[in-house]
Structure 1
Amino acid sequence: MSDNPIEQVKVIQKELKRFMMKYKFALQEVETKIKILQEEFQMLHDYNPIEHTKSRLKSPESILKKMMRKGGANSLEEIKETIHDIAGIRITCSFISDIYRISEMLQSQNDLKTISIKDYIKNPKPNGYKSLHMIVEVPVFMSDHEESICVEIQIRTIAMDFWASLEHKIFYKYYETVPQRLIDDLKKAADTAYELDTTMEQLHHEMEEIKRANQADSKGDFQFLIDNQQFKIPENLMNIISPKLLK
């Protein structure tokens, strides 16, 4: 490295930019995979388990602060080995079962290596926080080499995301000890959100059973949608109508 301080700063800036670029590319890879799974699931099952996704890259300042809390680092490679959530994506699902379904689909991807899974749904944090966290390694192909980059994937329901978003706003930039009374109330709110999740999923399962029963009763009937309303023509009547439609 040059002895010129300005040149040294330029080299550091370039290395940092390239470092962050790898995480940006890794995040794009995971986003593409999720989009493909989302569209495939919609086509095959006429159902989309993913409500929406949100991705983010930690800023260099945020990375530095986290690294300092962990005792500091001597190189970018040490940062890479220590901090695994520089790139992150949050997947919000409709139901709890969708969380595990999506997790399994991602784990089955040959070019994604699962590093760790933390299930805060089965084992919530003390304040009631629930979510499924995955750390995966993604291969990133640069111009001169291939490198595996970690991406954190958080999967949660709408209700879990609602709770987590408001919890963050309530305690944003508060660095003192939170009174136990507030923590207890926060956990009650999380439990209420979970009860809502389980109730809505039960209703979903019951409705699916009703749909399957109706489909069995009307097997052979012709069904179609007009303005989101389902209409059904019995098979015997369709035999009369079809020749006229084909003329």
Structure 2
Amino acid sequence: MQLPVFRTIDETLCLLDKKNTQLEKIRRQVKRFWMNFFIDKQEAIVDVTSRVKGKESLREKIIRNRLYIEKDSPQQILADLSDLIGFAIECRFIDEENEILQELRSRFTIPSLTDDGYSRCEEDAHLFLELNSPQPQMQKNGFSIYRIDGYYVDHEEKVRFELQIKSLVHMFWGEIEHKLVYKNSNFYVYDNFMKEILASIMANLTILDKQLRIVYKQMDQMSRDGHGMSEHDFEQVIIKAINDLFLMKMSASIGFTLNIKNTSSILGHYLFIKDFRNESKNSDQVSRLFATFKKLNSVDLDFENEIRITGNFSSSDVFIDTLGNYLLSIINFDYDWYVFFKMLFVIEPGDDLEDFSLFLKVIKNYLVDSYWLDTSFARLPLAESEQIHHDLWKILADALVEIGSIRMIHDDKMIMINQAFVEFVNELEERVISYDDFRHYKEAYYEEWLKRIHRFF
């Protein structure tokens, strides 16, 4: 015979199913309200997220909090559940959390008719918040959070919800803590150890918040003065943030970290060129940057399971095809490349093959100016010069495959390769008199190029 606790759980989950349409409608209405409520703070608000409590989460909470004993019925369990619906107002910086709280307190000033400690604002007579409790609240894990109880009156029924105010770094930390602790009971025996790790992560995130806050203030002031942050400085901000965030994800996944500074540099450079270079240089870039970091934290990321790319890779560009097929062949065998592409595919969470091809194009253009190479050997017939261009791209790609190491895409190495390749092609341009002449000595030319590039490694 089934235990009473599980009968209560099944009845409660069944009731949740029946109320789902109503709860989803309220969730959408309240989320829309928050978006409009903070319309004047769009620069500070990164996002407003929401959810109706899921079955698995509710099942766990009924048992963990002994609701099957403390409540008289499934109806009472749902009626008293403070986070039946959850909302999170996500802001940029830690000190903006309190600013948002004060905004709520200044506008939610109309007491409820039942004098239950809740109040509403002028804009919506159905939505109530309890704003008298001290904030932030202390959690069981020893860390603080801005958490506000609320309810929405729907046809005289009070539907409870929870409102959290979280800065970007607190969103990151909450996600890490959730995966490390609540989703993995094996860590329970290491309670003190895990607390130390979480405290260390939180300390690093707080430092990151302060750094980004300083950058924002500087950029905002420069914008007001008619100046902007230099491309180099802004790119370094992106690189630093990528490096710090992925180190935390790596530590959470495998328990240790590697030196990914150079990997972060090339990813930061890639992101800057692709998404930021053509934008106006003002404080709005920081908001764009925050949205990008939120995207990085929105997906699961482990550093243990192999990368699977669906579809077949091929390119009519000989450089991209040669280097791309090599990288795909070793992506799950060379851990340096594995980590690199794990990071890349999280930064660009679309079609992995498209992202892979786009990145190779960026690398190609970074290594060699295509226009410069395609206009070399201009004194030869067009068909011959085009064939030499094709073979030179192949020579360059083959040499990179020979090197193999991820160091080939580190910024300093690519600069060296670029300078050496320009010198190499200029020498060939003076020496080669025809394509037949080039083809006759092509292997020797390749060996000469390989010797030059090996000097950098």
What is the TM-score of this pair, normalised by structure 1? 0.65
Greater RCO (Cα-Cα under 8 Å, separation 6 or more) = 1
Shift of 1:55: 1.7
Match of 1:70 in 2: 66
Shift of 1:202: 3.5
Shift of 1:115: 2.5
Match of 1:93 in 2: 91
Within 2, Cα distance between the matches of 1:86 and 1:74? 17
Tell me which structure has the larger Cα radius of gyration.
2
Q: Secondary structure at the match of 1:156?
A: strand
Match of 1:159 among 169, 190, 199: 169
Match of 1:56 among 36, 44, 51: 51
Distance 1:12 1:114, change over 3 A: closer
Q: Contact between 1:130 and 1:160, CA under 8 Å: does it hold in 2?
A: no
Shift of 1:146: 3.0
Match of 1:233 in 2: none
Shift of 1:178: 2.9
Within 2, Cα distance between the matches of 1:27 and 1:100? 24
Shift of 1:12: 8.8
Match of 1:193 among 198, 202, 205: 205
Match of 2:195 in 1: 183
Q: Contact between 2:169 and 2:206, CA under 8 Å: does it hold in 1?
A: yes
Q: Contact between 1:27 and 1:87, CA under 8 Å: does it hold in 2?
A: yes
Q: Contact between 1:96 and 1:201, CA under 8 Å: does it hold in 2?
A: no
Q: Secondary structure at the match of 1:88?
A: strand
When structure 1 is superposed on structure 2, of 203-212 and 193-202 the one drifting more is 203-212
Distance 1:76 1:22, change over 3 A: farther
Match of 2:381 in 1: none
Q: Contact between 2:80 and 2:160, CA under 8 Å: does it hold in 1?
A: no
Q: Determine which structure has the larger helix proportion and give its number.
A: 2
Distance 1:228 1:203, change over 3 A: closer
Shift of 1:86: 1.2
Q: Contact between 1:129 and 1:164, CA under 8 Å: does it hold in 2?
A: no
Q: Secondary structure at the match of 1:48?
A: coil
Q: Determine which structure has the larger strand proportion and give its number.
A: 1
Shift of 1:30: 1.7
Within 2, Cα distance between the matches of 1:146 and 1:82? 15
Q: Secondary structure at the match of 1:80?
A: helix
Which letter maps to 1:182? Answer: M
Q: Secondary structure at the match of 1:119?
A: coil
Indicate the RMSD between aligned Cα atoms, in angstroms. Answer: 3.2
Match of 1:208 in 2: 220
Which letter maps to 1:115? Answer: E
**Identical columns (%):** 19
Q: Contact between 2:88 and 2:163, CA under 8 Å: does it hold in 1?
A: yes
Aligned length: 198
Shift of 1:187: 0.6
Within 1, Cα distance between the matches of 2:203 and 2:33? 32
Which letter maps to 1:49? Answer: A
In the alignment, structure 2 segments of 5+ residues that lack a partner are 1-10, 108-120, 228-277, 282-457
Match of 2:135 among 119, 123, 126: 119
Which whole-Å deviations, capped at 9, do the CAs of 1:5-62 have from their partners, x for residues lacking one? xxxxxx9998544434333232222210122134x326xxxx5222123222113453
Distance 1:101 1:21, change over 3 A: farther
Which letter maps to 2:22? Answer: K
Distance 1:186 1:16, change over 3 A: closer
Q: Contact between 1:163 and 1:193, CA under 8 Å: does it hold in 2?
A: yes
Q: Contact between 1:87 and 1:152, CA under 8 Å: does it hold in 2?
A: yes
Distance 1:35 1:84, change over 3 A: same
Which letter maps to 1:186? Answer: L
Instruction: Kindly report which structure 2 residues correspond to 1:6-85, keeping only aligned pairs within 5 A, or say none.
Output: 16-38=16-38, 40-41=39-40, 47-68=42-63, 69-72=65-68, 73-85=71-83
In the alignment, structure 1 segments of 5+ residues that lack a partner are 1-10, 216-226, 231-247
Within 1, Cα distance between the matches of 2:197 and 2:13? 46
Within 1, Cα distance between the matches of 2:141 and 2:54? 27
Within 1, Cα distance between the matches of 2:280 and 2:15? 57
Which letter maps to 2:25? Answer: F
What is the TM-score of this pair, normalised by structure 2? 0.38
Distance 1:135 1:13, change over 3 A: closer
Q: Contact between 2:12 and 2:78, CA under 8 Å: does it hold in 1?
A: no
Distance 1:98 1:188, change over 3 A: same
Which whole-Å deviations, capped at 9, do the CAs of 1:179-234 have from their partners, x for residues lacking one? 3123112112112211222332244334434444559xxxxxxxxxxx6447xxxx
